[in-house]
Structure 1
Amino acid sequence: MIKIKRPQDLARLRRLALAAQGLLQAQPYGRGLAGARKAINQLGYVQIDTISVVERAHHHVIHSRVPAFKPAMTNQMLLDGDIFEYWAHAAAFLPIADFRFSLPYKHAIKSGQTHWYKTRDKKLMGELLARIRSDGPIRSRDVETNTSKRAGWWDWKPAKKALEQMYMEGDLMVSDREGFQKTYDLTERVLPSQVNLQMPSMEEFAAHIVEQQLRCHGIVSLKGLTYLRRSTDLRKTVKALVNERLAQRTLEQVQVDSGEVFILETGALERRLPRVNSRMLILSPFDNSVIQRERLKTLFQYDYQIECYVPAAKRRYGYFCLPLLYRDEFVGRVDCKAHRKSSHLEIKSLHLEPHSFDEDVVLMAFVEAITIFSLFQKCDSVSLTNANPKRLTQRLQRALKPLG
């Protein structure tokens, strides 16, 4: 096992992680729709989230990696059969090539080994399935029931719950989206003909996870490989496979000062890494690179928490603070809100943490990043309320004035 002691060795680990995530180069996957396809194939999934304070997470993640990406391209990939919608560790868009690896979870739900909803209305499910088979795709809002509308996702109408249950079991797929309005259709009518439908063995599933995670993260922990996957058998099989590959010396381990052990391909530390781009990226709280918070803290010494679920009085940085990545370090966070009616991006607060970079350069990088970000939000003006350190507030307000 390699012990990571020197700062330059930890920096190499960070570079490996960021390069695998497509965050070091300006356009690692190309541009536009073609680049978006390659990005999702590399990342393995893009999380779908409903929060709309700024552009939604599934668009934001791709935008951070693909120049000329437009939000409409996500649904275009869905319509073209390049991606499909299902559950990863959360609702997500996934590469269509990985479809067969969604089958074990679907089977577990359908067979009752695990539950999506505790009770299923099988009669209603059968009626809806027959209607879709005869009449074509259906949107959940097209289904009329006598149930009064109540607030909260736990009070979804019975018909919507039935559609969602059949989607999770695999009988239905999302064939189209209009915002967060899903259109459901029979799986056999949605899937491209070339898709592999063979149920993977546990060993095949474990190999897929190990290879995918090494590809998209560069370095992984044993815990991170099965992040939020609850299958004990899968975890045991993944662990056995990792131990086998360590014994074969196709994988090796490194240990950082905290004691955390990471796994990577043998020789990865010696590879030539992409040069660091002197730019700042404003990332989504649900970005693949930051979603495993413990890993983020261990590798980057960046303690991050999304605070929209924290009571307002206890928030430190804001409702929806976004991580700031400069070169190969996380240097702060920014709390923004896009006011779409007035096309205005409000920066409620910017927090810069101690770093070793030239302050002027970092501030210039932030102004450039927020300019690009505001265009992505379709905002033509920007304002800043507060910055930390406070001495930077007026300076940044002046720098942002041309955007206001």
Structure 2
Amino acid sequence: MKSLSISEARKLVLLSQGLSPKQLKGHALSKTLSVFCRLGYVQIDTISVVQRAHHHTLWSRNQDYRLGHLDQLVADRKVFEYWSHAASYLLMDDYRFTLPRKLAIKSGVENHWYRKDPKLMANVLSRIEIDGPLMAKDFESQRTNKNGWASKPTKQALEMLYMQGDLMISERRNFHKVYDLTERVLPKGIDASVPTQQEHGRFLVFRYLKANGFGTLAEMTYLLKGVKAQVKCVLEQLLESGEIEKIIISDDEYFTCSESLFLLNTRLTRKHARILSPFDNMLIQRNRTSTIFNFDYQLECYVPAPKRKFGYFCLPILWDGKLVARADCKVNKPASKLELMHLYVEPSLKERDAFLAALAQELQAFTKFNQCGEYSIQKVSYDFY
């Protein structure tokens, strides 16, 4: 069984994730699509302290990325919205692999957040069939919760129809979902056959390994419902056939494949800094980030203010093949300024001047990406543990 050093493991992750800066081929939009082909999905998030996570994750891998690219790829039916481990944009070519979950929800095998109202769902579906694509605000209904926080029954019906596959998101308008019949959104010729358990398991294994280099069963099935047993079975079959193999990293066993290991022959560009989204694909599994990168990270916007250690929306920073800093920052729109309220540099970082020079270059690009004219760093800490 092969062993990888922790440095080799980090290199493999970064190369698999497309976070080693290199020139992508094609025009700007095709580069964005190529990022999707590498990652498989990009998580959607509503927080807009800086550019939203789905834009940020794509920009981190393609600095020719433009905010209109996602809308264009949705309009071109190259990507679509559904769930990975969370709400995400997915490759349209992978559409059929969302069907097992949709059918499980539709049949009642898998529960969703909302209770089904078959009559209301039928009425909503009929309305869209007749009137065309609609948003939640196009339906009249009262909230069922007197405190005002529960979503409207028609919104719940729309989401149930979306999650079970009768509706898809045809576009977003000012970030609001526009729902349409699935058959009107799917492009012609798309494979809409339901995969077998083995096909689905193989897809989950190889999609994960391509995007991440190596992984465990738990990592491959992270927050995915009802698939662990079938993925475990497929892993055993793939090991027996030699399509994947086991490796050792810091005494822990992982699965990988020759295609991933071949990346180790590629040079890793180390001297460029990268400011990452808290919802970046590389970071979303915090235990993995801690194990491989020795970087304990928590998004503290969900933590009460008095208990925050690093701030409301602290962004991890990658440099020299490692996670070496984090910055609590926000966009000050009236001033057109990107404000870094506090930059925390890991005490273990030795080449501070070289890092700060690389960060300054990245901050210039990040400022422009956030549609700001300038940035400021208000405070820097090197010893904060």
Whether these two folds match at TM > 0.5 is yes
Give structure 1 regions of 4+ aligned residues with deviation exceeding 6 angstroms: 148-152
Q: 1:276 aligns with which of 259, 269, 272?
A: 269
Q: Distance in 2 between matches of 1:252 and 1:201?
A: 23
Matched-pair contact (CA < 8 Å) for 2:277–2:315: yes
2:234 is equivalent to residue 241 of structure 1: yes
Listed as ranges, the matches of 1:138-177 within 5 Å are: 138-147=134-143, 155-177=150-172
Change (3 A) 1:268 1:73: closer
8 Å contact from structure 2 (residues 216, 253) kept in 1: yes
Alignment-derived partner of residue 260 in structure 1: 252
1:148 to partner: Cα distance? 8.0
**Are 1:295 and 2:293 matched, yes or no?**
no
- In the alignment, is residue 223 of structure 1 matched against residue 218 of structure 2? yes
- 1:61-72 aligned at under 5 Å gives the runs 61-72=57-68
- Contact kept? 2:214, 2:260, Cα under 8 Å: no
Partner of residue 6, structure 2:
10
Structure 1 residue 169: Cα displacement: 0.9
Partner of 1:308: helix, strand, or coil? helix
Tell me how far 1:313 sits from its aligned partner: 1.0
**What is residue 343 of structure 1 aligned with on the other side?**
336
Question: In structure 2, do the counterparts of structure 1 residues 29 and 86 end up closer, same or farther at CA, with 3 Å as the change threshold?
Answer: farther
Q: Does 1:54 find its partner at 2:50?
A: yes
Cα distance between partner residues in 2 of 1:143 and 1:121: 15
Structure 1 residue 29: deviation in Å? 5.7
The Cα of 1:248 is off from its aligned counterpart by 3.0
* Structure 2 CA distance for aligned equivalents of residues 298 and 40 of structure 1: 26
Is the contact between residue 33 and residue 69 of structure 1 (CA under 8 Å) also seen in structure 2?
Answer: yes
> Once the 2 structures are TM-superposed, how far is the Cα of residue 243 of structure 1 from its aligned partner?
2.0
Match of 2:204 in 1: 209
The structure 1 residue matched to 2:127, chosen from 128, 131, 151, is 131
TM-score, normalised with respect to structure 2: 0.95
Of 377, 380, 383 in structure 2, the residue corresponding to residue 387 of structure 1 is: 380
- Aligned partners of 2:347 and 2:383 also within 8 Å: no
Q: Map Cα deviations across residues 307-359 of structure 1 (whole Å, 9 max, x no partner).
A: 11111111111111011000310001011100123211111110000345522
Tell me the alpha carbon deviations over residues 131-169 of structure 1, each in whole angstroms, 9 at most, x when there is no partner: 11111110111112244897776x111111111110111
CA distance in 2, matches of 1:29, 1:174: 29
Residue in 2 that maps onto 1:34: 30
**Residue 315 (structure 2) aligns with:** 322
Compute the displacement of 1:11 (Å).
Answer: 1.2
Deviations, residues 229-268 of structure 1 (Å, cap 9, x unaligned): 121xx212211222222233332222233x4221111485
TM-score norm. by structure 1 comes to 0.90
Tell me the residue number matched to 2:176.
181
| Partner Cα separation in structure 2 for residue 146 and residue 19 of structure 1 | 50
Change (3 A) 1:327 1:28: farther
**CA contact under 8 A between 2:327 and 2:340: conserved in structure 1?**
yes
Indicate how the Cα distance of structure 1 residues 316 and 134 shifts in structure 2: closer, same or farther if over 3 A, else same.
Answer: same
Q: 2:95 aligns with which of 89, 96, 99?
A: 99
Residues 276 and 316 of structure 2 are in contact (CA less than 8 Å); yes or no, is this contact kept in structure 1? yes
Partner amino acid, structure 1, of 2:86: A
Q: 1:358 aligns with which of 351, 364, 375?
A: 351
Rounded Cα–Cα distance in structure 2 between residues aligned with 1:269 and 1:204: 23
Segment drifting more, 241-250 vs 94-103: 241-250
Query: 1:2 is matched by which residue type in structure 2?
Result: K
**Contact kept? 2:143, 2:151, Cα under 8 Å:** no
Q: CA deviation at 1:67?
A: 2.0
Q: Given the superposition, is the C-alpha separation of residues 328 and 28 from structure 1 closer, same or farther in structure 2, using an over 3 Å criterion?
A: farther
Aligned residues: 383
Unaligned runs of 5+ in 2: none
Match of 1:111 in 2: 107
Name structure 1 gaps, 5 residues minimum: 392-404
Q: d(CA) in 2 for partners of 1:267 and 1:98?
A: 20
SS of the residue 2:9 aligns to: helix
Identity of counterpart residues, as a percentage?
40
SS in 2 for 1:145: coil
Give the C-alpha shift of residue 219 in structure 1: 1.1
8 Å CA contact retained: 1:64, 1:283: yes
Q: Deviations over 1:357-381 (max 9, x none)?
A: 5221101011111111111111112
Counterparts in 2 of 1:382 and 1:268: CA distance versus 1, 3 Å? closer
The one-letter amino acid of 1:185's match is D
| Cα distance change on mapping 1:267 and 1:163 into 2, 3 Å | closer
Q: Distance in 2 between matches of 1:268 and 1:105?
A: 28
